[in-house]
């Protein structure tokens, strides 16, 4: 079952054009090989299969929100595991651009159980989203933060924004390539190149600032590093009273 969520009422300006890596041809033919394969292995030194996919899979709750979906590799691959696809009853995928959403939706047709509800939302995750508070048990933002445009203080709003839509015991999990941690000369070269081409916008991002921003929005935050990648789990959003299952 596919539900297309409209967010036209909250968009105040058109989305900027996507960078090359988020255009349909690249997503279909090169994204997994170059970004998740070669780059993660040899540049960022954070294995997709051994580190990122297990982290993503373990993070999926009954009602899961995936923000910044890329090629759809993570949700599509995770849901091939019966334990996970039987646990996840509602999956919402959210991105600023239509091409990643379309590609992810196509991939999910092979792994999504027929009884699972899939919702696609085209929106800016740093602003208001078309969900009631406490809509999700879990959320993921993998390799999104370094691509957000704007100064660090603006970008960090995504944590408080997403915290609002998590249940009282909800969990936000993510992976970030920060501007201050580069695992070797190759990572430094590619970080500089990606920033010059507008693919990344992370030169001012530091692990310390990001951790502080997470702690402002969540009661429990765990941060660790693999290669050039900052990984985190943030639990229990900070706010007044949030019903655990407001939608039901």
CA distance 174 to 59: 9
C-alpha distances in Å from residue 27, one per residue of 78, 97, 146, 173, 204: 18, 12, 18, 23, 27
Tokens 């999504």, residue located: 112
Q: Do residues 159 and 191 make contact, with C-beta atoms less than 8 angstroms apart?
A: no
Residues 93-117: pLDDT tens digits?
A: 999 999 999 999 999 988 898 899 9
Domains of the chain: 17-237 (3.40.50.150)
Given a cut of 50, the residues of the chain with pLDDT beneath it are 1-14, 240-248
Global model pTM greater than 0.85:
yes
Residues 213-243: pLDDT tens digits?
A: 999 999 999 999 999 999 999 999 997 434 4
């Amino acid at each position: 079952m596919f539900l297309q969520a409209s967010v036209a009422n909250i968009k105040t300006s058109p989305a900027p054009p996507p960078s090359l890596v988020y255009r349909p041809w690249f997503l279909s033919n090169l994204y997994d090989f170059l970004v998740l394969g070669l780059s993660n292995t040899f540049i960022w030194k954070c294995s997709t299969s051994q580190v990122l996919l297990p982290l993503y899979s373990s993070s999926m709750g009954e009602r899961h929100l995936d923000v910044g979906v890329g090629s759809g590799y993570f949700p599509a691959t995770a849901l091939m595991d019966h334990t996970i696809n039987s646990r996840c009853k509602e999956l919402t995928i959210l991105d600023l651009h239509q091409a990643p959403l379309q590609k992810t939706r196509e991939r999910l047709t092979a792994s999504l159980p027929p009884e699972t509800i899939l919702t696609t939302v085209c929106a800016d995750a740093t602003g208001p989203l078309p969900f009631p508070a406490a809509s999700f048990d879990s959320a993921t933002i993998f390799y999104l933060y370094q691509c957000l445009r704007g100064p660090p203080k603006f970008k960090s709003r995504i944590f408080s924004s997403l915290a609002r839509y998590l249940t009282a015991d909800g969990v936000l999990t993510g992976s970030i390539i920060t501007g201050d941690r580069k695992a070797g000369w190759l990572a430094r070269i590619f970080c500089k190149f990606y920033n010059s081409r507008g693919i990344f916008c992370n030169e001012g991002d530091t692990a310390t600032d990001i951790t502080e921003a997470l702690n402002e929005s969540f009661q429990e935050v765990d941060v660790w590093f693999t290669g050039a990648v900052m990984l985190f789990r943030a639990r229990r959003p900070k706010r007044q009273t949030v019903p655990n299952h407001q939608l039901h």
